[in-house]
Structure 1
Amino acid sequence: MSITPELLHGGWSPSAPAVSPDGRWVAWVTGPVVPRGAPHAALWVAPADGSASARRLTDGARRVSLPRWTADSGALIHLADGALVRVGLDGEQVALTEWEGWVGEMIALDGGPLVLLGEPDDQEPENGITVWTGDETPAGDRLMLLAPGDIAPRRLTAPGDRHVTAVAARPDGAALAVISWDEPAEEPGAFTARLHVVDPHRDTARDMGPLPLNASCPAWWHDGTAWHVALLGVTPPGPVGGLTVLDVTVPPPGLTPGPPRDLTPDGTICPVELVQSCAGPLALFADGLDTSVRRLRPATGDFEEIARIRGLASSLATDRDGGVTALRISGPQTPNDVFVLRSDGRPRQLSDTRPQFRDVDWGTQERLTWTAPDGLPLDGLLVLPPGRSRADGPLPLVALVHGGPYARYADALQFNAYVSAQHVAAGGYAVLLPNPRGSQGHGPAFAARVVGDLGGAELGDVLAGIDQLTADGVADPARLAIAGWSHGGYLAAWAAARTDRFRAAVVGAGIADWGMQTAFGELGREEAGYSGSHGWESPGPHPHDAVSPIGHAADITAPVLILHGEQDTNVPVAQAVYLHRALRHFGVPHEFVRYAGEGHIFSDPTHQADVMHRIRAFLDRHL
């Protein structure tokens, strides 16, 4: 079977695995990759021990999400088209309330109450008009408590008017760990995170102090003496750098908490998810091209590995005691499916949502390692055209740079909805997927190496990978292209301006001017951390000018394909317009395509298919 956009858009995909508190069952949601009316997403369940096949609990007539087990493991509570519904293991469904406010998270406490994180009914602006003078705090997500028999949830007022981003219930149900911002807008809200301990029954709160950028995933644990809240956050002092696991000791009432303590100092891996269990929090760590599952040991306060997953693992879930763990796994030629970890650490597959992928002629995917000019060890992947091998080289090569820059290529199936390595390879191209400095998977220090050197050694890392493939006879140095989305789009534009080695560049949702990104991007202060300045420090020139492709547009000679969503708030479309005008001014051959209604990541399958076909056609013309 050939690799086509239709293959990507067809079929089903699993999400949101949830393990029952007693460890006997695993539930998950399976929905169409591209929702197009009925059937909608359905809820599935399977015994964790593999003693029976998975079965569907809901018929797909309503879209389901957020499956959460009741405390007694006898039923699941979920959202069905926005309504709260309880479904038993026999499939019998009962509506819990007619209230249909927006809910982003919910936790079932012993005794039946539900803690909800969401938006109360009274927060919708009238006529879609919001007036902001700079003094008011826009409405955000709040904590709510729904007791058995209530017709609507009651808002918990203890956190005040702060926007709640994450919540975790202490195992005894007597306290909640709550992460909140001053306001829901990421700039500046994300830089104002604080931790509170909330009593949901008395509606009182204790302030545990400020948290770093990207604070998330709170998880309770006890060291035998005191309660702690572990969470993920950017390694201090930030704001730019990799994530680490931080820990806050909850002192007795009346005492002031100390600053967060780093539980993963000097690490060479990066935490990506953290979940709670009575035996100690479990975490997923990005570890090079693979994923490590680790448990926090309460006695020592460090993490021990309990399983190593080849490729990409995500959506970690566990039972009450941490003995049964479920997660999604994707390998080099297999899509995401739900697995449960057995006692020996090996995964057992529970879902099989895209069996047709086993008949696809995927390109061979290889692991690569190489060394940067300054001696830094690097890794990445090579995807070869289907049916081809290294012996068929030298081949035209496309360097496909990931976004972030704090992201990574894991050894998982590289078939996605924007710049797809497998689809490009199917056109006869070798594809290099590099993890340059700044990437996730090699610890916070590796991630921070891009700060102050944006586009410098970072681009050198990519070129060194190409040099190795050229020396190995895989890549044809006369037929090279570079492509990427988001930060990868930035690096593609930057490479086109700073070297003449590429015959074509694809700039997807990329940054042309870092000053503009600081002004209009979703996280301006973080963008300034990467690029070196905001622009308001002085008349300039500024550090960000030196690393912006727009200032070097006169040096671009290779043809450029610019792709951008018109509703992108992460990297506004003005970035693409600016680059387009510069290229037109200097007479550089290029194409500029704007996609109506699309944000940073496209959702319309017609647009996704157009991107895939358009990139291949552009490469065919120029390589």
Structure 2
Amino acid sequence: MPELTAELIVDGKVPRRPVISPDGCWVVYTVHPLSKADEHPVAALWLAATDGGAPPRQLTAGTALDIAPRWAPDSAAVYFLSDRAERGTPQLHRIRLDGGEAEPLTAWKGGISDHLPLADPGVVALVAADEPTEEDERRERERDDARVYGERVRYARVRLLSLADKQIAAPIGPSERHVVELAQRPGGGPLALLSWPDTELDACFVDSAVHVVDLSTRETREICRTPASPSGLTWWRSGDDWRLAFLATTPPGPVGGEAVFSVDEPGQPDNLSAGMPMCPISLAAPASGGLLALFAHGLDSALHRIDTRTELSTMDGFADALTVSSSGAVVAALRSTSYAPVDVHSGPPEGPLTPLSHTRPELREITWGRQERLAYKASDGLELDGLLVLPPGKTRADGPFPLVTILHGGPYDRDADKLSVHWAPSGQWFATGGCAVFLANPRGGAGHGHEFAASVAGAVGVDDWTDILAGIDLLVAEGVADPQRLGFAGWSQGGFMAAWAVGQTDRFRAAVMGAGISDWGQMVAAGELATYDGTLGGSAGWEGVGPHRHDRLSPISHAAKVTTPVLILHGELDPNVPLAQGEYFHRALRALGVEHEYVVYPREKHSIAERAHQLDVLRRSRDWFTRWL
């Protein structure tokens, strides 16, 4: 049997964004390489029959970034965005299922950010910023480009493309809002828009809104202001009435569990999933009526008809990106289970869903470490779950093992019971190196409802930290983990917890801090999610003379107590957790004489994308634990 290698991980591909054709016969999806070979990423479109009657086939070459597929109303063609004409600048293209090359439909300066084929077969709605004016070009040419906040904002706006002459009409919808999603009511009805007040990512947490545009009169109405971080705008039919639905953080936010909201006229949206002990992650609605919601539920997933609160089916492990045919007879989603990588699955809503794609055949012969479900209680009695991955060929009887605890990002994320293989710290990779791995799901994550997720607001590193310790203590008590050989690793929020852990205890022999937060005040100052980060840390720093809540919750404040060797990994251009976060912790450990290694990856953002850098992350992090554990 072949062994899992770093090359097998980073040279793989992953499917994303499946979309069922209106007639229910086909699923189109994108396939992305896990690593980037040069400056620009690439992706290809693939097509699969929903009944599995024919093997999937590749629609586009994948030599450019071909993404965001959407079906023509007659299911005979797929519209998508591609930067094949100018790398980094996506334009709208169309490819027919009966063969031929993809046809370019736009050449918009600055590119198209989203699109939607309308019920009128001759029109496509586009989302794009205004093209640069002569004055804009002069300013750029002459470097007269001082940026004044609130001036010259390049909002993404909605325009209609006529396919007959490829002319793009003047913008419709709100003029001083940034449009991020759109959806047309089935049957040729009005166009719904989801907007932010400006173009910064942080704007999704404040003052987002839903609008409806009458396509015959161009009249725009605001339907509602939304809770924080809305997404998944969807029309759905309840009897003879049409309503709009979306996902957003349960108020007051912005930290908490997502919920399904619905609205049918101007006013406050209703929370359709209030009180449910699970978290919605994807919406879809058949034209025939009803609203479907895919939920993260503990380590597994569940499909509900949310308007009637009816459970349709349950699915082991991970599921996401729900899509449904017009009739409602067929759904598709991305799925992964303990030893099977993410693939596109399809079937009736009542299940079962069967795999259509087979994106990673190179992993079929790998001998995986045994993955077990864990259920235990926190110190305050809260029920928790997680996963244990043992070294390949080993059982609990072969323990105790060196144990690496891995925390996911977010914190609003989770480790579902899926195959744990990734370029960032992952279960099977460390298990192959001889360690047992604990994948922890402390409070603050998804899958257990709103209150579970909201409990870390202004309290990161408090109860969530003791939740993790409770899981480690359980594995030590059961003879799985050697208490003298404990490690901790994570990326993003997991990187924060790694830095936090080594400042709270000397139990860990080694830690890996990947793109981790060391100071919550600096996150408010420079991170792209300032509102969210300020809520997690509990303060912003401008409340007055400190000490502030975020000081007590920042790993940098506890650096003087660190004795554990720490490997710090960070992307140089990370906008989410800026490089200064890793730099700050490095400078503290250097000043304090603590054993550590600090690695910066040029050109990389929050997720490491280049092949050589991904290989380095994998090898360096596993070697770090081999050295110290």
The TM-score normalised by the length of structure 1 is: 0.94
2:87 equivalent in structure 1: none
In the alignment, which of 497, 515, 527 is matched to residue 521 of structure 2?
A: 515
1:290 equivalent in structure 2: 300
| 1:348-383 per-position Cα deviation (integer Å, ceiling 9, x unaligned) | 211112111111122111111111000000001111
Alignment of 1:572-591 (within 5 A): 572-591=578-597
Give the Cα–Cα distance (whole angstroms) in 1 for the partners of residues 605 and 64 of structure 2: 26
1:551 equivalent in structure 2: 557
1:16 offset after TM fit, Å?
Answer: 2.3
**AA partner of residue 92 (structure 1):** G
Contact 1:400 1:434 in 2 (8 A): yes
Query: Identity over aligned residues, as a percent?
Result: 44
Give the Cα–Cα distance (whole angstroms) in 1 for the partners of residues 257 and 152 of structure 2: 30
2:117 equivalent in structure 1: 108
Aligned length: 613
1:535 equivalent in structure 2: 541
Alignment of 1:476-487 (within 5 A): 476-487=482-493
In the alignment, which of 236, 242, 258 is matched to residue 221 of structure 1?
A: 236
Contact 2:346 2:353 in 1 (8 A): yes
Alignment of 1:152-301 (within 5 A): 152-188=167-203, 190-224=205-239, 226-250=241-265, 257-278=266-287, 279-296=289-306, 301=307
1:15 and 2:24 are equivalent in the alignment: no
**AA partner of residue 566 (structure 1):** E
Contact 1:58 1:91 in 2 (8 A): no
User: The residue matched to 2:309 in structure 1 has which SS?
Assistant: strand
1:433 offset after TM fit, Å?
Answer: 0.4
Give the Cα–Cα distance (whole angstroms) in 2 for the partners of residues 303 and 121 of structure 1: 45
1:253 equivalent in structure 2: none
| 1:87-133 per-position Cα deviation (integer Å, ceiling 9, x unaligned) | 22221346252525523332222221111223343378735875332
**AA partner of residue 107 (structure 2):** W
| 1:425-480 per-position Cα deviation (integer Å, ceiling 9, x unaligned) | 11100010010010100001100111232211111000000111111110001110
User: The residue matched to 1:428 in structure 2 has which SS?
Assistant: coil
User: The residue matched to 2:113 in structure 1 has which SS?
Assistant: strand
Give the Cα–Cα distance (whole angstroms) in 2 for the partners of residues 110 and 342 of structure 1: 25
In the alignment, which of 304, 310, 326 is matched to residue 320 of structure 1?
A: 326
Quick check: 51-60 or 15-24, which moved more? 51-60
| 1:177-235 per-position Cα deviation (integer Å, ceiling 9, x unaligned) | 21101111123454121111112343221012311111111111232354321111110
Q: Given the superposition, is the C-alpha separation of residues 341 and 491 from structure 1 closer, same or farther in structure 2, using an over 3 Å criterion?
A: same
Alignment of 1:128-139 (within 5 A): 130-136=145-151, 138-139=153-154
**AA partner of residue 57 (structure 1):** L
Contact 2:294 2:302 in 1 (8 A): yes
Give the Cα–Cα distance (whole angstroms) in 2 for the partners of residues 60 and 191 of structure 1: 37
Q: Given the superposition, is the C-alpha separation of residues 275 and 561 from structure 1 closer, same or farther in structure 2, using an over 3 Å criterion?
A: same
**AA partner of residue 224 (structure 2):** G
Give the Cα–Cα distance (whole angstroms) in 2 for the partners of residues 589 and 64 of structure 1: 45
Give the Cα–Cα distance (whole angstroms) in 2 for the partners of residues 398 and 93 of structure 1: 49
1:144 and 2:159 are equivalent in the alignment: yes
Give the Cα–Cα distance (whole angstroms) in 1 for the partners of residues 436 and 5 of structure 2: 17
What value does the CA root-mean-square deviation take over the aligned residues? 2.0
1:408 equivalent in structure 2: 414
User: The residue matched to 1:552 in structure 2 has which SS?
Assistant: helix
Give the Cα–Cα distance (whole angstroms) in 1 for the partners of residues 35 and 560 of structure 2: 41
Give the Cα–Cα distance (whole angstroms) in 2 for the partners of residues 422 and 402 of structure 1: 14
2:404 equivalent in structure 1: 398
Give the Cα–Cα distance (whole angstroms) in 1 for the partners of residues 64 and 403 of structure 2: 45
**AA partner of residue 119 (structure 1):** A
Give the Cα–Cα distance (whole angstroms) in 1 for the partners of residues 425 and 323 of structure 2: 30
2:5 equivalent in structure 1: 4
Give the Cα–Cα distance (whole angstroms) in 1 for the partners of residues 264 and 376 of structure 2: 42
1:42 offset after TM fit, Å?
Answer: 3.4
Give the Cα–Cα distance (whole angstroms) in 2 for the partners of residues 195 and 386 of structure 1: 50
1:119 and 2:121 are equivalent in the alignment: no
**AA partner of residue 120 (structure 2):** G
Give the Cα–Cα distance (whole angstroms) in 2 for the partners of residues 302 and 312 of structure 1: 24
1:413 offset after TM fit, Å?
Answer: 1.0
Give the Cα–Cα distance (whole angstroms) in 2 for the partners of residues 419 and 87 of structure 1: 38
Q: Given the superposition, is the C-alpha separation of residues 230 and 505 from structure 1 closer, same or farther in structure 2, using an over 3 Å criterion?
A: same
**AA partner of residue 564 (structure 1):** H
**AA partner of residue 269 (structure 2):** P
Q: Given the superposition, is the C-alpha separation of residues 343 and 376 from structure 1 closer, same or farther in structure 2, using an over 3 Å criterion?
A: closer
Quick check: 42-51 or 331-340, which moved more? 42-51
User: The residue matched to 2:364 in structure 1 has which SS?
Assistant: helix
**AA partner of residue 295 (structure 1):** R
Give the Cα–Cα distance (whole angstroms) in 1 for the partners of residues 260 and 419 of structure 2: 28
Give the Cα–Cα distance (whole angstroms) in 1 for the partners of residues 521 and 31 of structure 2: 42
Contact 2:119 2:186 in 1 (8 A): no
In the alignment, which of 345, 358, 372 is matched to residue 351 of structure 2?
A: 345
2:391 equivalent in structure 1: 385
| 1:19-44 per-position Cα deviation (integer Å, ceiling 9, x unaligned) | 11111222223343335479964333
Q: Given the superposition, is the C-alpha separation of residues 295 and 155 from structure 1 closer, same or farther in structure 2, using an over 3 Å criterion?
A: farther
Quick check: 136-145 or 444-453, which moved more? 136-145
1:489 equivalent in structure 2: 495
Give the Cα–Cα distance (whole angstroms) in 2 for the partners of residues 56 and 595 of structure 1: 33
Give the Cα–Cα distance (whole angstroms) in 1 for the partners of residues 205 and 167 of structure 2: 30
**AA partner of residue 275 (structure 1):** A
Gaps of 5+ in 2: 85-89
1:344 offset after TM fit, Å?
Answer: 4.7
**AA partner of residue 140 (structure 1):** Y
Q: Given the superposition, is the C-alpha separation of residues 614 and 96 from structure 1 closer, same or farther in structure 2, using an over 3 Å criterion?
A: closer
Give the Cα–Cα distance (whole angstroms) in 2 for the partners of residues 122 and 196 of structure 1: 26
Contact 1:264 1:302 in 2 (8 A): no
Give the Cα–Cα distance (whole angstroms) in 1 for the partners of residues 378 and 149 of structure 2: 47
| 1:250-308 per-position Cα deviation (integer Å, ceiling 9, x unaligned) | 2xxxxxx2211111111110011112322222221111011112223xxxx33322222
User: The residue matched to 2:581 in structure 1 has which SS?
Assistant: helix
Q: Given the superposition, is the C-alpha separation of residues 94 and 622 from structure 1 closer, same or farther in structure 2, using an over 3 Å criterion?
A: closer
Q: Given the superposition, is the C-alpha separation of residues 219 and 460 from structure 1 closer, same or farther in structure 2, using an over 3 Å criterion?
A: same
1:68 equivalent in structure 2: 70
Gaps of 5+ in 1: 251-256
Give the Cα–Cα distance (whole angstroms) in 1 for the partners of residues 486 and 43 of structure 2: 42
1:140 offset after TM fit, Å?
Answer: 2.7
Contact 1:97 1:150 in 2 (8 A): no
